[in-house]
Amino acid sequence: MIEILIVLAIMAIGAALVVPMVSGPGASTSDLRSAARQIAAGLRQARSEAIAQRRETLVTLDLEKRSFRVAKESREIALPEKVDLKLFTAQSDLVNERQGAIRFFPDGGSNGGRVTVASGERKYEVDVDWLTGRVAILD
């Protein structure tokens, strides 16, 4: 009985040491996936608004704050702190190196672009097709 308790104690100590090493200092895979899905949902919402309201709609991203805003909503959607963002979009929609936007047109099209959500080696790319405005998440 004592031997079993000693083995269980050793396993618990080992697990307590190994789990933090495996998860690492960056964001978890579920945090990355969640952030990519949030951005994709915001982009899809902007596309729908552009079509429904027959006007251009922007999704503005702040890479420094790790947040984005759909159109002129007052609500800014924050992403996890450990997530790194990169934005590739039209030069005319870049405010500076830390802020930019992806634009959707009334016909459903877009200026196109890509938002990369990364942490270390892991990353997801949220891609916006310029012709159709289709939003896709790529591994």
Contact status, residue 101 vs residue 58, Cβ threshold 8 Å: yes
Tens digit of pLDDT for each residue in 61-119? 999 999 999 987 878 999 998 899 999 999 999 989 899 999 999 999 999 999 999 99
CB neighbour class for 15 (10 Å; exposed up to 12, middle 13-18, buried from 19) = exposed
Tens digit of pLDDT for each residue in 77-87? 999 988 999 99
Full set of structural domains in the chain with CATH: 28-138 (3.55.40.10)
Distance of alpha carbon 125 from alpha carbon 134, whole angstroms: 13
